[in-house]
Amino acid sequence: MQLWQIISNFDAHLPQLVAMHANLVYVILFAVVFLQMGVLPLFFLPSNPFLFVCGAVWAASGLNILLLVVVLITAAILGNFFGYWLGGTVGQAFFVNYLKWPNQASLDKTHTFYDKHGEKGFLVTLFLPVIRTLAPFMAGVTQMNFIKFSRSVSLGAVLWVLVCVLSGYFFGNIPTIKNHLGFVTLLGLALVITVFLAKKIWDAIAKK
């Protein structure tokens, strides 16, 4: 039960972990981000607020922020690659070959969608709960072009980590933001979704 509480409220326990295990904590952070990106059942692991809290804790503790950013970006990229590999192997074998779901027509449509919009989509999927774990898995299942996938998720990982961690680093210890982290997170998520939808609407208008 204690382990589950730590996992489900990892951001709340992070300052204690940093104080007790300053070096080991980088390995723990890598594992949390990697597993959330790469293993579908672990989609519930902490994400956006967690990275924000990481930035705030590193600012308060004086630890190496550059090392933190490199570790988290690497974990996000490799986690996406692992999710893609699982989708292309386990996903193909179990869902497509064994369960016959989704059918070939749906797979073809999804493959076409990923080829056309996947590169732009993966720039923002890491900001979206659940989708950040599901998207690389489905990219593997539908056999999205790996070059496009790797290029997009790499840029997306850099964007995601820099925005979340540096926001926490510079603003996370301001009392008003610290006491209303949930609201700030929802506001940031709403902003990301709004920008994405606005871009899609603008593209549709431009085509007409």
pLDDT in tens, 40-84: 888 877 777 788 888 888 888 878 899 999 999 999 999 999 999
Quickly count: other Cβ atoms within 10 Å of residue 145's Cβ: 14
- pLDDT single digits (tens) 92-144: 776 766 566 666 666 666 667 677 766 777 877 888 888 888 889 988 888 88
Quickly count: other Cβ atoms within 10 Å of residue 5's Cβ: 11
What is the distance between the terminal CA atoms of the chain, rounded to a whole angstrom?
Answer: 56
Q: Which residue has the tokens 């699982």?
A: 86
Tokens of 84: 């893609």
Question: CA 187 to CA 145: how far, in whole Å?
Answer: 33
Q: What is the pLDDT of residue 33?
A: 92
| Every domain of the chain and the residues it spans | 2-201
The length of the chain in residues reads: 208
Tokens of 182: 């949930």
Query: Minimal CA–CA distance to 41: which of 160, 137, 128, 124?
Result: 137
Instruction: Name the DSSP class of 1.
Output: -
pTM over 0.85: no
